[in-house]
Structure 1
Amino acid sequence: MNTDYTRVSTSTKIAIVTGGSRGLGRNTVLNLASRGVDIIFTYHSNTAEADNVVAAVKDIGHKAVALQLDTGNAGSFSSFVQKVQQTLGELGAQRFDYLVNNAGTSLHKAFEQTTEEELDTIYNIHFKGVFFLTQKLLPLINDGGKIINVSSGLTRVAFPGIAAYSSIKGAVEVLTRCLAKELGPRGISVNTVAPGAIATDFSGGVVRDNPEVNKRVSDMTALGRAGQPDDVGPMIASLLSDDNRWVNAQRIEVSGGMAP
């Protein structure tokens, strides 16, 4: 699915997107840029992928800066925030407007076989990382800003082998509602976006590259196909716009009607 990311506005708002070098994160970055937003995004290790996204945003007519971050290592967040402050200065700002907690990995393993180390890894990336990175960045987000935590359709639909992953994503959804209440006095809205099965390289590209899995997903989806990144990125960008200023503390599933 191809999209023309032509620049459509001249806003100077700034977003931070974790895991923005690939998949849904990359698509979100490009869709935000097309709506006039400058971007700071994180990547884990692939510098070439990050550089490609920076170049793509530049082609749209906006600015993007890629910062390396392991969102599972909360001990690195203080130094990361310092880099964010420096980068904001380079963008001519002191604060930013939007935070999208998107970075993540998957774990498909039977409950009885899941190790403590594997559970800790998922917890550190998907919950502890989201919790403390958001906490560290709060002094830099503008009043009236917006936060989106990316969850999963798997918090609603249960399959074998997802107990650890889906449970921790469920915790993120509860955290979202709590943050919406606590940050309300600052006018900051906090929502969850829960994608269904998307054809990216996530989980080793199983939905994208395995025809059997892709068909299974398509058969259980009301719109009759697996999702694409461009089904989700524009929705996130739209949710961050002022058009959705009264949407708060919500879990919004973007799945094409998966397992309705």
Structure 2
Amino acid sequence: MTNGGKIALVTGASRGLGRNMAIALARKGVDVIGTYHSNKTEAEATATAIAAFGRKATMFPLDTGDVARFSAFAADLKQALAVQWGRANFDYLVNNAGIGVHKPFAETSEADFDRLVNIHLKGVFFLTQTLLPLIADGGRIVNVSSGLTRFALPGYAAYAAMKGAIEVLTRYLAKELGPRGIAVNTIAPGAIETDFGGGTVRDNREVNAFIASVTALGRPGLPDDIGPAVASLLTEDNRWINAQRIEISGGMLI
């Protein structure tokens, strides 16, 4: 099923899961507005891949941990919507941008903690709030969590705590935005072979083998396991799914 005429905003669209989500949405007939932190070349490569499917794409630099920048970003976004699409709003928001911090609880610094809060919790909270006037009634929001909120692996206490907060926030957003017909869900990927966290899952053979050994389907995840699932969640086929945490992990640690 296609989503012709729809527009999605995907944060962190220049690489990894964000790029895969953006391209999967383009395959479904959705135009994409992406954000990237600093790598304009990679962002432009994502836009080129989207254009190959005949969809419009535009990329904005944005530090999703810098709340003070959000009002200016929303103004730029509003102008782009008007100029490029002749619209005052967009349909889907995917809060994907993030970083990984892998440190034992006892060694996690306040600076580490604050950085994670700013990007994974405060940033998601206030970016979504700032963009609410630009999200179409009947639209959808997908927040990205982690399998680490269900199972615990050493070194991810702070990261997983932020993602746990996002899962709670998702339910509250679903409740409060319901009157506008906006559905809000969380996806929780398991371990995925990307460059996230230094590419450990992809490049470390021991880590890769361990994940395969504790996953029911016998391998780590791939970006192509996540992007199409997100795109599917945003289609009309799934219009009645709301306020849910959907783990996409191949059955990791069950």
Whether TM exceeds 0.5 here: the answer is: yes
Give the RMSD, CA atoms, in angstroms. Answer: 0.8
Q: Which residue of 2 aligns with 1:3?
A: none
The secondary structure found in structure 2 opposite 1:232 is: helix
**How is 1:1-260 mapped onto 2 (pairs within 5 angstroms)?**
9=2, 11-89=4-82, 90-260=84-254
CA–CA distance in structure 1, aligned partners of residues 39 and 222 of structure 2: 22
The separation in 2 between residues aligned to 1:225 and 1:66, in whole angstroms, is 33
Distance 1:170-1:10 versus aligned 2 partners, 3 A rule: closer
After superposition, what is the alpha-carbon deviation per residue over 1:25-78, rounded to whole angstroms, capped at 9, x for unaligned? 000000100111111000000011001111111111001100000001001000
Q: Calculate percent identity across the aligned residue pairs.
A: 62
Structure 1 residue 10: deviation in Å? 6.8
Residues of 2 paired with 1:160 and 1:47: CA distance? Answer: 34
Report the Cα offset of residue 150 of structure 1: 0.2
Letter matched to residue 38 of structure 1: D
Going from structure 1 to structure 2, the CA distance change for 1:73 and 1:31 (only over 3 Å counts) comes to same
Answer yes or no: is the 8 Å Cα contact 2:193–2:201 preserved in 1: yes
- Does 9-18 or 187-196 show the bigger shift? 9-18
> Which amino acid is the alignment partner of residue 101 of structure 1?
N
1:137 to partner: Cα distance: 0.3
Instruction: For residue 9 of structure 1, report the CA deviation from its aligned partner.
Output: 4.2
Q: Aligned partners of 1:47, 1:34: CA distance in 2, in Å?
A: 22
CA distance in 2, matches of 1:197, 1:9: 29
Q: What displacement does 1:164 show?
A: 0.3
Please state whether the residue corresponding to 1:60 is helix, strand or coil.
Answer: coil
Deviations 1:72-121 (A, max 9, x none): 10010000001110111122211100000000001110111111111000
Contact 2:3 2:235 in 1 (8 A): no
Matched AA of 2:23:
L
TM-score w.r.t. structure 1 length? 0.96
CA contact under 8 A between 2:2 and 2:235: conserved in structure 1?
Answer: no
> Which whole-Å CA distance do the structure 1 matches of 2:85 and 2:194 have between them?
31
Task: Spell out structure 1 runs of 4+ moving beyond 2 A.
Answer: none
2: CA distance, partners of 1:9 / 1:215: 37
Distance 1:195 1:10 in 2: 24
Unaligned runs of 5+ in 2: none
The aligned length equals 253
| 5+ long unaligned stretches in structure 1 | 1-7
CA distance in 1, matches of 2:28, 2:86: 19
